[in-house]
């Protein structure tokens, strides 16, 4: 009788589902504690502490200060977000204003001169005249050149500190930087739109810090009240369905508000000011969580690391100072009461030996006290590497933060790494520019234009507000890491019809962005002026062949050789 063969137990198939993933995570990472609260509940429980810790870092930590400066320089820059109006004529119309007639005459005089110059050169005219100066008629579908220039000039005039803010202490570009810095530091910021006919343009803005919108105000408005049934969450009032924002509730200011925090001020009936949503801009980034009523400070992800790095640096500096301070100690052995033992140190003498280390100091010790020399061995070679690794993690947690800039460490990057860093960080800055334009710049401009037309600070008809409300905002742009190659690449793209000259000029490849028509008109006028003075109009463009250019690897090798030479 043949022996029975043992049946093999089939192997359990390898699971690839989330259940297996969770089992592995709980087994391999038992110390991983996850948050089970909603985002609003989590922020509400910790908001006061988050705000205090974040503000302390922004005030005292040099790396956060550097990040704030880097953000201001790259998002807004010295000139802020530029306005270019793109108003078009909606119908044929007769020009009646003497100011507009003079402006149109000067506008077309420049272009007629350029056309005459091109005609003398045997080239076709560049500008087609769309304005009949004798009949003073402008054509539909053409740019409203007077309104474009006029509104841009008035917008620049409003940006002076005495015109744009209720306090009169900030210019508008400083206000831009303040709102972005406050949003990054606190999580959100509020801008009040103040309309008053007594102002020069009928409009100003007021900055309100995050803590004044009462986080602790969470309730349902009683049905007997005017807005009964509305929901107030973290100081923001919603419709009963919780979808549409109706108003914001701010703690009322008092004469002694500068002495205490808003959260410490007495709160009760009549202690809040209700401002309708149409008068407030809630300046905050909601891209990370759509359920957040009020986002947390940007620094939450790097708070702990930033603090630990600061204390490590402090300890290393103190240890290095102690190690650098050499001192001489004098001790004396005195017999004890039995004539043989050594006298013990008096505790009162020991308490007095708390002293500050001084270079070359000579210190006398009481009887029975022996010095123990502590050699901290600082600074050491590992300090720089440890600092740099922590700073890289710090920069990874903040949008647009550049490690070479914040750490002031350019020696460790080569040409290729610097170029990749520039591309990454400028992309992040452009995203913040778009956020700033969408969240505040466009709405502030629209409210300003409406009030300026209403009080006739801009002498154009209010009835045509929709026609005049055609702004185009342009954030600052940056030249390339290697401007010469960037310009050649742009010229090649234009020559091969991959892009337009307008896009190249607006991209800022040669520095700040510009306007195509203004650029070519200036070039034509410069050429006319040079020719009238008998000077050559030839360009100084480099005609070197592309194969003579240095590659990125060759530039990296040059960087490495230069660094090695400096270290030697």
SS3 484: helix
DSSP 387-418: HHHHHHHHHHTSTT--HHHHTT--TT--HHHH
CB 262 within 8 A of CB 249: no
Continuous H helices in 325-441: 347-351, 382-396, 403-406, 415-436
pLDDT at 123: 82
d(CA 209, CA 515): 37
At 424 the three-state DSSP class reads helix
Other CB atoms within a 10 A radius of the CB of residue 265 amount to: 17
| Best CA proximity match to 464, nearest among 144, 149, 193 | 144
| Helix, strand, coil percent values for the chain (each to nearest 5) | 50, 10, 40
Q: SS3 string of 32-96?
A: CCCCCCCHHHHHHHHHHHHHHHHHHHHHHCHHHHHHHHHHHHHHHCCCCCEEEECCECCCCEECC
Bond into 379 cis (ω within 30): yes
Q: Which two tokens stand for residue 421?
A: 């860093």
Kindly list the distances between the CA atom of residue 42 and the CA atoms of 47, 248, 285, 295, in Å, as whole numbers in the listed order: 8, 21, 17, 11
CA distance linking residue 115 with residue 309, whole number of Å: 64
Dihedral of CA atoms 19, 22, 23, 29 in degrees, nearest 10, equals 170
Q: How far apart are CA 118 and CA 123, in angstroms?
A: 5
Provide the sign of the torsion angle of the four alpha carbons 225, 228, 234, 238, taken in this order.
negative
**In the block, which residue shows the tokens 């509104």?**
151
CA 129 – CA 98 distance, rounded (Å): 20
Instruction: Output the pTM of the full model.
Output: 0.81
Question: How do strand 327-330 and strand 188-195 relate by DSSP bridges?
Answer: unpaired
Q: What's residue 238's pLDDT? A: 95
Of the CA atoms within 13 Å of residue 518, those in its CB half-sphere come to 8
- Name 238's bridge partners: 231, 245
Mean per-residue pLDDT pooled into runs of 10, the chain (568 residues): 56 68 86 85 89 93 93 92 92 89 87 83 80 83 91 96 94 96 95 96 96 91 88 93 93 74 66 93 89 90 90 84 67 55 56 57 63 67 84 90 85 76 86 95 97 96 95 86 77 83 76 74 77 69 47 60 60
Per-residue pLDDT at 542: 46
Burial 541-562 (b: 16+ CB within 10 A, else e): eeeeeeeeeeeeeebbeebeee
Maximal CA-CA distance, the chain: 124
Half-sphere exposure of 449 (CA within 13 A, CB side): 26
Four-CA torsion 139, 141, 145, 149, nearest 10 degrees: 150
The whole-number pLDDT of residue 71 equals 93
Give the residue from 542, 483, 491, 469 showing the smallest Cα distance to 511.
Answer: 483
The contacts of residue 165 (CB under 8 Å, 6+ apart) are 172, 175, 204, 205, 206, 207
């Amino acid at each position: 009788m043949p022996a029975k063969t043992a049946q093999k137990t089939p192997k359990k198939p390898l699971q690839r589902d989330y259940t297996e993933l969770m089992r592995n995570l709980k087994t391999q990472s038992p110390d991983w504690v996850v948050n089970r609260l909603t985002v609003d509940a989590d922020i509400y429980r910790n908001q006061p502490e988050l705000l205090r810790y974040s503000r302390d870092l922004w005030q005292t930590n040099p790396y956060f200060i550097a990040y704030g400066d880097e953000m201001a320089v790259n998002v807004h820059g010295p000139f802020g977000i530029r306005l270019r109006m793109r108003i078009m004529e909606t119908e044929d119309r007769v020009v009646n204003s003497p100011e507009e007639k003079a402006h149109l005459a000067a506008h077309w005089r420049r272009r007629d001169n350029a056309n005459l110059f091109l005609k003398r050169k045997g080239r076709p005219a560049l500008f087609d005249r769309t304005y009949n100066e004798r009949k003073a008629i402008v054509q539909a579908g053409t740019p409203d050149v007077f309104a474009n220039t006029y509104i841009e000039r008035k917008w620049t005039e409003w940006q002076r500190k005495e015109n744009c803010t209720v306090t009169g202490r900030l210019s508008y570009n400083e206000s831009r930087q303040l709102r972005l810095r406050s949003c990054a530091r606190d999580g959100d910021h509020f801008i009040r739109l103040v309309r008053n006919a007594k102002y020069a343009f009928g409009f100003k803005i007021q900055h309100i810090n995050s803590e004044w919108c009462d986080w602790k105000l969470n309730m349902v408005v009683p049905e007997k009240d005017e807005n009964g049934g509305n929901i107030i969450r973290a100081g923001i009032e919603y419709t009963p369905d919780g979808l549409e924002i109706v108003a914001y509730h701010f703690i009322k200011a008092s004469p002694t508000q500068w002495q205490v925090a808003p959260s410490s001020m007495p709160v009760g009936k009549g202690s809040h000011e209700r401002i309708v949503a149409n008068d407030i801009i809630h300046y905050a980034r909601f891209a990370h969580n759509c359920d957040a009523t009020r986002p947390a400070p940007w620094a939450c992800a790097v708070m702990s690391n930033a603090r630990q790095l600061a204390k490590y640096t402090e300890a290393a500096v103190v240890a290095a100072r102690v190690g650098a301070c050499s001192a001489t100690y004098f001790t004396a052995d005195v017999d004890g009461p039995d004539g043989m033992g050594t006298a013990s140190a008096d505790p009162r003498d020991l308490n007095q030996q708390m002293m500050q280390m001084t270079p070359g100091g000579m210190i006398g010790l009481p009887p029975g006290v022996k010095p123990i020399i502590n050699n901290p061995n600082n600074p050491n070679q590992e300090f720089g590497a440890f600092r740099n690794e922590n700073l890289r993690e710090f920069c990874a947690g903040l949008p647009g933060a550049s490690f070479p800039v914040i750490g002031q460490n350019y020696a460790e990057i080569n040409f290729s790494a610097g170029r990749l860093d520039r591309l990454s960080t400028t992309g992040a800055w452009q995203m913040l520019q778009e956020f700033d334009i969408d969240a505040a710049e466009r709405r502030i401009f629209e409210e300003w234009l409406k009030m300026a037309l209403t009080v006739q600070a801009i002498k154009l008809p209010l009835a045509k507000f929709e026609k005049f409300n055609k702004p185009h905002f342009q954030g600052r742009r940056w030249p390339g890491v290697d401007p010469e190659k960037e310009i050649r690449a742009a010229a090649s793209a234009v020559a091969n019809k991959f892009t337009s000259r307008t896009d190249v000029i607006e991209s800022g490849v040669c520095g700040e962005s510009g306007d195509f028509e203004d650029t070519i008109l200036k070039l034509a006028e410069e050429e006319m002026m040079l020719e009238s003075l008998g000077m050559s109009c030839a360009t100084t463009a480099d005609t070197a062949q592309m194969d003579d250019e240095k590659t990125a690897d060759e530039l990296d090798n040059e960087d490495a050789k230069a660094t090695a030479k400096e270290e030697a």
